Amino acid sequence: MYRIRFHGRGGQGMKTASRVLGTAFFQEAFQVQDAPRYGAERRGAPIFAYVRASRTAINERGVINHPDLVAIADDSLISAPAAGVLQGIGPRTVMLINSHESPETWQHRLNLDNTILIVPAEDAVTDRADLPFAGMVCAGAAARLVGVIGREALATAIREELHTHGSGLVDRNIETALHTYDLMQDHANAVTEGTEISAKSYASPQWIELPLENAGSAAPSIHAAATSTLLKTGLWRTMRPVIDYDHCSHCWWVCSTFCPDSAIRVNEEGVPEIDYDHCKGCLICVAKCPPHAIEAIPENAAKAREEKAHATKTPDR
């Protein structure tokens, strides 16, 4: 059985990628499961989707814990523990990463000997949640890596899954998927089927192990109020709202009231301050600020700006 996990951010098309790959397997007479798992309710937040495909009946259920292939649409998720990208990977798991970095760089960073393959990421994207066709890039590459899906089955699957979006978009998705399919030609069959797990080998446990988590964040709110502050949802952000205090008119209530996460507080001088640990980057404040004093900038550009400011402040030793 093939077990494949797609990781990306809401908006990058990973659910569609899993549906396309599942349908392509189905075209090749496999039995298939595909399903998405959403972590949060907004664009840009980590999500994953998974596909099982087998020539025989599939009795496994639930998320895939030990994948044969992990396809990652956005390499910024790899270092985010909440995204769970590296969960359950074993020595034979192939990793496919949409990235500017080389396989060797990722092997070194992750200290892994696994096969790591790269699909070259787009150069200029302002908002990472807009990575164009990222899902289709991963679906096309995955189809080639398993070595049992033909070009026609892949194209038919895309037509079936996307036909409601019009022929122009379908054609562009087919072109993108087939382009990456061809790019992976030298690695066809790199992903092999994992071993079947027989239901007969299942032994019911004598006890149930509950994973221990930090009680500060895991305890039900009835026993520990305000635990949500411990979850740093700022990790989901792909665009950062930045207040230009020269233009802020200190109207004090607009941005802080409209922020759905209460991530903007107004200090005693009436100045708004954004809590970047908990701002999810929905950018409602940018749209609502009357004098347009809040700018949205890509998260990586904001980090570079911070580093530069820090470097100019730090005196030479």
| 3-state class (DSSP) for residue 65 | coil
**Beta carbon nearer to ligand SF4, 2 or 236:** 236
Residue with tokens 């392509």: 24
Residue with tokens 């790269």: 118
Q: Is 4 in the site for ligand SF4 (CB under 6 A)?
A: no
Q: Is 26 in the site for ligand SF4 (CB under 6 A)?
A: no
Residue numbers 278-297 binding ligand SF4 by CB under 6 A: 279-285, 289-291, 293-294
- If we measure between CA atoms, which residue out of 128, 87, 89, 309 comes closest to residue 235? 128
Q: Is 10 in the site for ligand SF4 (CB under 6 A)?
A: no
Q: Is 86 in the site for ligand SF4 (CB under 6 A)?
A: no
- If we measure between CA atoms, which residue out of 181, 142, 139, 174 comes closest to residue 159? 174
| Furthest C-alpha separation in the chain | 69
**Beta carbon nearer to ligand SF4, 138 or 263:** 263
Residues contacting residue 272 through CB under 8 Å, at least 6 positions apart: 243, 248, 250, 252, 255, 256, 264, 265, 266
* Residue in 121, 131, 272, 299 binding ligand SF4, rule: CB under 6 A: 272
One-letter amino acid at 161 equals E
Helices (H), the chain: 14-27, 103-110, 134-146, 151-162, 167-183, 215-218, 254-258, 284-288, 299-313
* Residue in 145, 259, 299, 302 binding ligand SF4, rule: CB under 6 A: 259
Q: Is 45 in the site for ligand SF4 (CB under 6 A)?
A: no
Tokens found for residue 169? 């978009």
Alpha-carbon gap, residue 309 to 304, rounded angstroms: 9
**Beta carbon nearer to ligand SF4, 17 or 243:** 243
Smallest distance, ligand SF4 to C-beta of residue 149, A: 40
Phi, psi for 62 (deg, rounded to 5):
85, -175
Smallest distance, ligand SF4 to C-beta of residue 4, A: 33
Give the total of residues touching ligand SF4 (CB under 6 A). Answer: 27
* Residue in 21, 95, 178, 274 binding ligand SF4, rule: CB under 6 A: 274
Smallest distance, ligand SF4 to C-beta of residue 227, A: 19
Residue numbers 160-189 binding ligand SF4 by CB under 6 A: none
Alpha-carbon gap, residue 221 to 254, rounded angstroms: 29
* Residue in 121, 154, 158, 263 binding ligand SF4, rule: CB under 6 A: 263
* Residue in 261, 295, 297, 298 binding ligand SF4, rule: CB under 6 A: 261
Which residues lie across from 98 on neighbouring strands?
119
Residue numbers 228-257 binding ligand SF4 by CB under 6 A: 241, 243, 248-252, 254-255
Which residues lie across from 274 on neighbouring strands?
264
Smallest distance, ligand SF4 to C-beta of residue 239, A: 8
**Beta carbon nearer to ligand SF4, 143 or 279:** 279
Q: Distances from the Cα of 33 to the Cαs of 28, 45, 122, 193, 211, in angstroms?
A: 14, 23, 30, 15, 27
Smallest distance, ligand SF4 to C-beta of residue 255, A: 3
Q: What DSSP designation does 195 have?
A: P
Alpha-carbon gap, residue 15 to 21, rounded angstroms: 10
**Beta carbon nearer to ligand SF4, 76 or 107:** 76
Smallest distance, ligand SF4 to C-beta of residue 125, A: 19
Instruction: Give the interface with ligand SF4 as residue ranges (CB under 6 A).
Output: 241, 243, 248-252, 254-255, 259, 261, 263-264, 272, 274, 279-285, 289-291, 293-294
